[in-house]
Structure 1
Amino acid sequence: MLRRTNLRFGHTLRLGIASDGLALVRINRLFGRAPVLLAEQRLDLFAPDALATGLSALFADHAPGGWTVSVVLADELIRLWQVTPPQGATRMGDLEGAAALRFQHLFGAPPSEWVIRADWDATRPFLASAAPLNLLNGLLLAAETYRFHLVDIRPQFVAALNHWRQARRAGAWFGQVHGGVLSLAAYDGAVLMAVRSSPIPAGADRDWLESHVAREALRVGVGRPERLQLCGAAPAAWGSSPGRLKFACSLLEQNAGDGWSDLARLARTGVPA
């Protein structure tokens, strides 16, 4: 069983939540120690009481009482979209209203059952995300029940984007490969223009990647990037190689295929391996 005294030595917990399961990872921020997978629990998150039942099983041998816990939500559970602030916006309410209207337009329903958070900005387009209200309430109840400190909840792509923000080079797009899906942050200079996700077809090679990026640039209405920087389990063949002239491709995590499951990698997103 985990003991509260470990907190003073820089330990924290990461909980990954996907539609098909949970994973619990221990992070030690001191001395560059590698994260440790503690447990995984398979489930159907959309079944009745699935989260509560799954957490009970996950914590059976790893009680989190007294620990700080950060949560990473798989991107299939949340919504991500870009919001253009209204002209002349001066109040937070203007930005919140624009985000809610854009949510309803894109996803075909009012956001009453979702919680919206964003990098609010009245001067340029900003990224917004929404998580299901019932899922967040379930996590708050779990924190109270198991007496852990819930310090952060964020989408996987946002966790990765924030982690690698300082590494992004001028003229580059950022991407994440996880669970057979490629998610791209398309930039125009320093401005984030869109986030787009697409399934990766079987056997997708570098030629597929170059064609896909070119199509996404056309859809977003920006130029093709000079470089693509990818995190996650990206195929090694996607990295730059001699004779490739369309754009460079950098793989930010050379050891992403290190035997960790998708659930475990979800939980440790944004943490050095």
Structure 2
Amino acid sequence: MLNKLVPRLGRGLRIGVAPDGLALVRTSRWRHERALLLGTVRAGGADPASIGVALSMLLGEHATAGWPVTMVLSDDLVRLWQVTPPPGAGRMADLEGAAALRYQALFGTFVGGWKISADWSASQPFLAAAVPLPLLEVLQGAARSHRFHLVEVVPQFVAALNQFRKLHRPGAWFGVVHGGVLSVAAFDGRQLAAVRTSPIPAGADRDWLESHVAREALRVGLGRPERLQVCGPAPKGWASSAGRLKFACTLFEDETDPLWPDSARLALSGRAP
């Protein structure tokens, strides 16, 4: 029997999509209503067909017609990179060309088969993201089949960066922890310099974090940041403590139920407080 969901003002649905699992969460703008985990399902991998099967299973248990839905994709399903606009760029075509060329240089292939979106800027470096077209077609097909309104498809890192943008401090780098992976945006002042993603080894402590940040700073040609601001289920030992002088580390408060799976945490990435 379908779990009938009745659309109401101020409520929405969010779906976390990752290679190992998906989750459906109901959210509300009303502070007295907490986010509600409606369902989860395992996925069989990162290929669009496997995700499509899992998504059908998840949505097949819930009547989602008429609901506004945001889908948050784990960063291992997308590609993220920094783009420096060419001198004298004055047209969107100039920025799109620069993004495509940078994509080819980083990933060794043409951008065909991927949908690029970005925080386009002709005056400063900007973040670009690409989603595989077959995956995007699966998500859009689910919206048509289940008659919900697909409001947004967004990578987790982009969602989190937008969510905490107002809290970003000058001189700080920004990080997201999900599924045992740390994604970091390196900033040169207020300008984005690079996006780096690395697995977090078992038992990674503050010493590992300091060494990791120092290596990434060398790779992107920057000095070590004054502060690293991190969201997601990061190890508590990463937070700043007495005697730590290399750089400060701020862990944004994680209000998600600790018993929720990573896919549900993923679904809430970027949610307005």
- Give me the TM-score of the superposition, normalised by structure 1: 0.94
- Deviation of the 1:243 alpha carbon: 0.7
**Aligned amino acid, residue 122 of structure 1:** A
1:86 is matched with which residue?
A: 86
Stretch of structure 1 that moved more, 186-195 or 37-46: 37-46
Residue in structure 2 matched with residue 28 of structure 1 by the alignment:
28
Alignment-mate amino acid for residue 204 of structure 1: A
1:118 is aligned to 118
Query: 1:46/1:178 Cα in 2 relative to 1: closer, same or farther (>3 Å)?
Result: closer
Taking a change above 3 Å as real, the CA distance of residues 86 and 145 of structure 1, as seen in their structure-2 partners, is same
CA distance in 2, matches of 1:165, 1:47: 31
Tell me the residue number matched to 1:16: 16
Question: What's the CA shift string for 1:187-210, capped at 9, x where partnerless?
Answer: 111111111011111111101111
Residue equivalent to 1:7: 8
Match of 2:73 in 1: 73
Unpaired segments ≥5 residues, structure 2: none
Report the equivalent of 2:172: 172
123-132 vs 43-52, which deviates more? 43-52
- In the comparison of the two structures, how many residue pairs are matched? 271
* AA aligned opposite 1:201: P
Q: Give deviations 1:9-42, integer Å, cap 9, x for gaps.
A: x110001111122111110111253211111111
Q: Secondary structure at the match of 1:111?
A: coil
Structure 2 partner of 1:227: 227
Deviation readout 1:77-100 (Å, 9 max, x if unpaired): 000001111111111001101111
1:119/1:126 contact within 8 Å kept: yes
SS in 1 for 2:8: helix
Q: Counterpart of 2:54?
A: 54
Indicate how the Cα distance of structure 1 residues 260 and 150 shifts in structure 2: closer, same or farther if over 3 A, else same: same
Aligned partners of 1:233 and 1:131: how far apart in 2? 25
Indicate conservation of the 8 Å contact 1:233/1:257, yes or no: no
Give the TM-score normalised by the residue count of structure 2.
Answer: 0.94
Task: Provide structure 1 residue ranges, at least 5 long, that are not aligned to the other structure.
Answer: none
Q: Give the equivalent residue in structure 1 for 2:240.
A: 240
**Alignment identity in percent?**
59
In 1, distance between residues paired with 2:220 and 2:47? 36
Aligned to 2:43: 43
**Does 192-201 or 43-52 show the bigger shift?**
43-52
Quick one: distance in 2 between partners of 1:255 and 1:246? Answer: 28
